[in-house]
Amino acid sequence: MVEYVPILIFLGVATLFPVATLVIARLLRPSVYNKTKLEAYECGVPPSGEARARYPVRFYIIAVLFVVFDVETIFLFPWAVKFKALGVFGFIEMLVFLGILLVGFAYAWKKGALEWV
Amino acid sequence: MRVEFFLLIGALLFTIGCAGVLIRRNAIVILMCIELMLNAVNLTFVAFALENQSMTGHIFVFFVMTVAAAEAAIGLAIVIALFRRRRTTDVEDASLMRW
Amino acid sequence: MTSLFNPNDVRLITPELVLTISAFLILGLSVLPDLGRKTWAPVLAGLACVSTLASLLSFVWMFGLEALRTPDMTIGFNGMFILDAFSIFFKVVFLLAAMLTILVSARYLEVERAHTGEYYALILFAVVGMMFLASAGDFITIFVSLETMALSFYILVGFLKTNRKSNEAALKYFLLGSFSTGIFLYGISLVYGTTQTTVLGLIGISRAKMALQSPAAPIFVLGVILVTVGLAFKIAAVPFHMWAPDAYEGAPTPVTAFLSTGSKAAAFVVLARIFSMGFLPLGQRWATLLAILAVASMTLGNVAAILQENIKRMLAYSSIAHAGYVLMGMIAVGLGDTVETREYGLKAVLLYLLVYTFVNIGAFALVIILRREQVAGDRVADFAGLSRRAPWAAFAMLVFMLSLAGIPATAGFIGKWFLFGAVVKAHYAWLAVVAVINSAISLYYYARVVVNMYMKAPEGAARLAPSWGQRVAIGACIAFTLVFGLYPQPIIAFAERSILALAPWAS
């Protein structure tokens, strides 16, 4: 059990540090509240509109496309690492995979999903 | 590090995700909770793969991640379609059909 | 170490390849600009239908007519893919279900103003998923193909983008479907952790027993339970059925027909494959679990169906009840003390799913042809006086209702006969009694439709105008129900030849 003692100490310090910081900051800082201070911070310009405004739906469509094409790297990366070992089979396999993705991409393009409308 | 820790975290995340799906009312939040469940599964797979010294667990994670992405895409699409008709993403409002 | 890839394996997946390629072709063609007022959609429907037929015929190309009777078990892709009589049986069922669905779809989608090529591409993708599912020999293949099917269905259920019911059905089906996927996966991860493999055959031979005797046994059992729960969601067994009535009601009716037959049969394939190959040493335990699900599904499904006014919803609850009946066959597989009993149970499952596919698609086809401009046609009351408006349609519905209720001289009776026999053989006679009582309850709501058609006055004089595709599909379903109801030997023999080789795993 002795080898776990450092972990225990680490856990204790890790818990105490943020708690202590928050408490000390609370004690030291002056608490002056006014309208300007409570306002949402928008890069120094006067804020416009609600902070919890809705995003236009287009962002979701871009997100949908991004999510799908983003994860293809999951398969590309290990394939690239083991490219030599996989040989011709791996190459053809990846071509098939990319071909399928390309069909999806062409479909999305043709359907106008990439246009910013 | 011992494998049990990872398994425990996996189990905790899975439970949180499960609870979230059952409790939360916003479709997008439920979607996020489902993703949390899938990631808990990934963690469990990787932990077991480490313990068993086998690659299968790692490979399974690849497929779970890909399918999770496809699932998220379709889920978002369905939520958008619903939002366009109803202007809400609250599942309580999706109550045209009951019993 | 086996070789990475054997080019001969590609031959094994010819039927799936045919479908995949034509699905991509349809997807590509569906973005073509329309020819004036006419769209490409009917052409693509024809293409989809032809490709399912081509896929069906490619089995003959693979084995030749004679060898098709008893193909050997062929394992390809390093154990990931199993081609045996069992998987071929189900692939035939899926392809027939898809073909019937495509035949009844076109006119319905035109009425709904949603007739596009993507619909057929999605149907084909779903079938590809189902077919790989039937052949899956590894949890990775099972997961990926299950999701290929499920993701296609999520979109198909919400295919009527401007219809609020369809949107809502898709959302509910998607949320609960992916929730169940999460549970299923967690179960797989626990099973993988305790047995150190995801290959079903390897788990079954010795590792399941080993895992049971190790200190990690509770984790393994929990894994099995979670896998069962995940699959119970997919077959819509009570208490995991909540999505089914809503999804069935809101989805476009042809999709409902396909969902209630193809997707359900696909979930049963995995169930049969996982439980009889992977978890057979735990037979006693999971059979008890399935017995609880079966009793709950039958009872709640039938009682709730009585209360329904919407016929799609009524058929949804009826399909929950039917899932309960089919589970009885699996229970016999788990409990049977002899190989004969186990094989009898499996045979009953196969037979029932084949029969149910034709009967249920037939019943939904009738609901589909009642949908016309301005008429939703999905209330039980819409069937009032159908015998006078359209005697043939009324007769068809009569046949399907009687078959669903399990009246002798219809195919439904044969299916039920074997299922009930299976649990009796497994010394679970009380379950058969519950099922018989439930069949009697179900007679009430099936008869209500018949009474509406034959005894009530019609509400309007509007005539039905089924397309030729719908006529062909309904005709095929009636022929199947009546011919094999009176002369069931061919399908019994087909099911008998196709059961999984359980012997090596039977303890």
Q: CA C439 from chain center: how many Å?
A: 20
Residue at C4 is within a domain: no
- pLDDT given for residue A41 in this prediction: 74
Chain A interface mutation, best of C5, C10, C144, highest count of A Cβ atoms under 10 Å: C5
Quick: pLDDT tens for C451-482: 999 998 887 667 788 889 999 999 999 999 99
Tally the domains of chain A. 1
CATH number at residue A53: 1.20.58.1610
Q: Give yes or no for a contact between C251 and B97, defined as CB atoms under 8 angstroms apart.
A: no
What mean pLDDT do residues C153-172 have?
Answer: 92
Q: Give yes or no for a contact between C310 and C380, defined as CB atoms under 8 angstroms apart.
A: yes
Question: What tokens appear for B20 in the block?
Answer: 């979230």
**CB pair distance less than 8 Å for B73 and A64:** yes
C486 vs A52, more confident: C486
Query: Minimal Cα–Cα distance from A78 to chain C, Å?
Result: 15
What mean pLDDT do residues C441-448 have?
Answer: 94
Question: What tokens appear for C128 in the block?
Answer: 């590809």
Chain B interface mutation, best of A65, A68, A76, A81, highest count of B Cβ atoms under 10 Å: A68
Quick: pLDDT tens for B54-99: 889 999 999 999 999 999 999 989 988 888 887 777 777 777 676 4
- The region of weakest confidence among C107-116, C209-218, C491-500 is C209-218
Residue at C2 is within a domain: no
Residue at A116 is within a domain: no
**CB pair distance less than 8 Å for C4 and A89:** yes
**CB pair distance less than 8 Å for A103 and C5:** no
- The region of weakest confidence among C117-126, C200-209, C383-392 is C200-209
Quick: pLDDT tens for C48-86: 889 988 988 888 887 776 666 666 778 888 888 988 888
- pLDDT given for residue B98 in this prediction: 61
Query: Minimal Cα–Cα distance from A57 to chain C, Å?
Result: 16
Residue at A102 is within a domain: yes
Question: What tokens appear for C170 in the block?
Answer: 């898709």
Residue at C131 is within a domain: yes
* Prediction pTM value: 0.89
Query: By three-state DSSP, how is residue A42 classified?
Result: strand
What is the domain range of residue C465?
9-505
Q: Give yes or no for a contact between C157 and C251, defined as CB atoms under 8 angstroms apart.
A: yes
The chain C residues in contact with chain A (CB within 8 A) are: 4-5, 24, 27-28, 31
C36 vs A108, more confident: A108
**CB pair distance less than 8 Å for A103 and C28:** yes
- The region of weakest confidence among C110-119, C147-156, C169-178, C286-295 is C110-119
A79, with CB counted inside 10 A (0-12, 13-18, 19+), is: middle
| Per-residue pLDDT band at C38 (split at 50, 70, 90) | low
pLDDT exceeds cutoff 60 at C120 = yes
pLDDT exceeds cutoff 70 at A51 = no
Chain A interface mutation, best of B26, B42, B76, highest count of A Cβ atoms under 10 Å: B76
Chain C interface mutation, best of A61, A74, A107, A110, highest count of C Cβ atoms under 10 Å: A107
Query: Minimal Cα–Cα distance from C312 to chain A, Å?
Result: 32
User: Residue C478 is which amino acid?
Assistant: I
- C58-64 long-range contacts, Cβ below 8 Å, gap at least 24? C58/C14, C58/C15, C58/C18, C59/C15, C59/C88, C59/C91, C59/C92, C61/C14, C62/C11, C62/C12, C62/C14, C62/C15
B61 touches chain C (CB under 8 A): no
- pLDDT given for residue C414 in this prediction: 93
Alpha-carbon distance of C329 to C323, in angstroms, equals 10
User: Residue C473 is which amino acid?
Assistant: A
Residue at A59 is within a domain: yes
**CB pair distance less than 8 Å for A64 and B66:** no
Question: Which subunits count as partners of chain A given 3+ CB pairs below 8 Å?
Answer: B, C
Residue at A117 is within a domain: no
Range picked from A27-31, B21-25, C60-64 for highest mean pLDDT:
B21-25
Alpha-carbon distance of B53 to C289, in angstroms, equals 33
Q: Which residues of B touch A108 (CB under 8 A)?
A: none
Alpha-carbon distance of C94 to C415, in angstroms, equals 18
- pLDDT given for residue A109 in this prediction: 87
C337 vs C325, more confident: C325
Alpha-carbon distance of C313 to C291, in angstroms, equals 25
CATH architecture of B3-88: Orthogonal Bundle (1.10)
Question: What tokens appear for B93 in the block?
Answer: 């409002």
* Helix and strand element counts for chain A (H, E): 5, 0
**Average pLDDT of the residues of chain C:** 89
Alpha-carbon distance of C142 to C159, in angstroms, equals 26
Question: What tokens appear for C212 in the block?
Answer: 């049971």
What is the domain range of residue A8?
2-110
C-alpha dihedral sign at C3, C7, C13, C19: positive
Query: Minimal Cα–Cα distance from C215 to chain A, Å?
Result: 23
Quick: pLDDT tens for C208-260: 777 778 887 888 889 999 999 999 999 999 899 999 999 999 999 999 999 99
Tally the domains of chain C. 1
Alpha-carbon distance of C59 to C323, in angstroms, equals 29
CB pairs under 8 A between A and B: 30
Partner-chain residue, chosen from C144, C190, C196, that has the shortest CB–CB distance to B63: C144
